[in-house]
Amino acid sequence: MEQVKALVFDVFGTVVDWREGIARDAAPFLARHGATGIDPRAFADAWRRRYQPAMEECRSGRRPITRLDVLHRENLELVLRDHGLDTTRIGEAELAEMNHAWHRLDPWPEAVAGLTRLRRKYVLAPLSNGNIALLLNMARRAAIPWDAILGAEVAQAYKPEPAAYLRTAEVLGIRPDELCLVAAHNGDLKAARGCGLKTAFVTRPTEHGPGQTTDIEPSEAWDVVARDFQDLAGKLGC
């Protein structure tokens, strides 16, 4: 890790707790529309399940690259219909506001303090499939200390496409092995390692709720394995 100059971060699940954040905003929204029988966390899970398939349309080339705010909005309408709601009876402003719940996710409790320590030594940026406005609004609201907002919209490629990792190193003006991806997801780290990046695994054992079974343990010998961002800062000498 001695040559690493910049750390880039997966965001949904790694920096922020998307499940609790979406559930928090979905609860009053669903209640207002008479859908009190829907569990807000199950609603968050259902919305999130449509995330990868929507991006896959772009990755496969069947659809041009489309920013995540647009995909999230399409998926919101689909998941509302799946739950029996008539989206034509919900106003445009309210749908837009609900969709912006992804801009209002809270970081995990130690994340901002850990990032603040890490920033003393490293350039920090998100390498997320989230779009620039989403990540910027999230960072302002939660005081996340990024040096720049990078990711799919800058690279014009969705992870785990190699271009997402390689173009991020390129715009930072560094070699892939001078860049380290921090993520709570083994698959993301595997793709980054395949591109020559360094890798740091951070555990987020409740990203999917109390019964989570995936990404509990590192699947490979990543360059660093840490409990959380404070532990990561300690292990990187920050």
**Contact residues: its own copies, CB under 8 A:** 69, 123, 131-133, 135-137, 139-140, 146-150, 153-154, 171-174
Minimum distance from residue 177 beta carbon to its own copies (Å): 17
CB of 129 to its own copies, least distance (A): 15
Reading the block at residue 10, the tokens are 């997966």
Shortest Cβ distance from residue 147 to its own copies (Å)?
5
Residue 27 vs 148, nearer CB to its own copies: 148
List the one residue out of 38, 149, 22, 145 whose CA is nearest residue 85.
Answer: 38
Q: Which amino acid type is present at position 200?
A: A
In whole angstroms, what is the distance from residue 118 CA to residue 114 CA? 6
Query: What's the rounded Cα separation, in Å, for the pair 167 and 184?
Result: 21
* Residue pair 25/19 in contact by the 8 Å Cβ criterion: no
User: Which residues make Cβ contacts (< 8 Å) with residue 161, sequence separation at least 6?
Assistant: 59
Nearer to its own copies, 6 or 195 (CB): 6
Choice between 40 and 107, CB closer to its own copies: 107
| 153 versus 188: smaller Cβ distance to its own copies | 153
Nearest approach, Cβ of residue 170 and its own copies (Å):
9
Minimum distance, C-beta of residue 66 to its own copies, in the bound complex (Å): 13
Report yes or no: 53 and 74 within 8 Å, Cβ to Cβ: no
Which is closer to its own copies, CB of 150 or CB of 202? 150
CB of 206 vs its own copies, minimal distance in Å: 29
d(CA 217, CA 5): 26
Alpha-carbon gap, residue 185 to 222, rounded angstroms = 11
Residues 6+ apart with CB under 8 A from 86: none
Q: Minimum Å distance from CB 133 to its own copies?
A: 4
Residue 201, beta-bridge partner list: 183, 225
Query: Is the Cβ of residue 11 or residue 189 nearer to its own copies in the bound state?
Result: 11
Pick the closer one to its own copies by CB: 59 or 119: 119
For the chain, where are the alpha helices, taking DSSP H only? Answer: 18-32, 40-49, 51-59, 68-82, 92-99, 111-118, 132-142, 152-155, 162-172, 186-194, 229-235
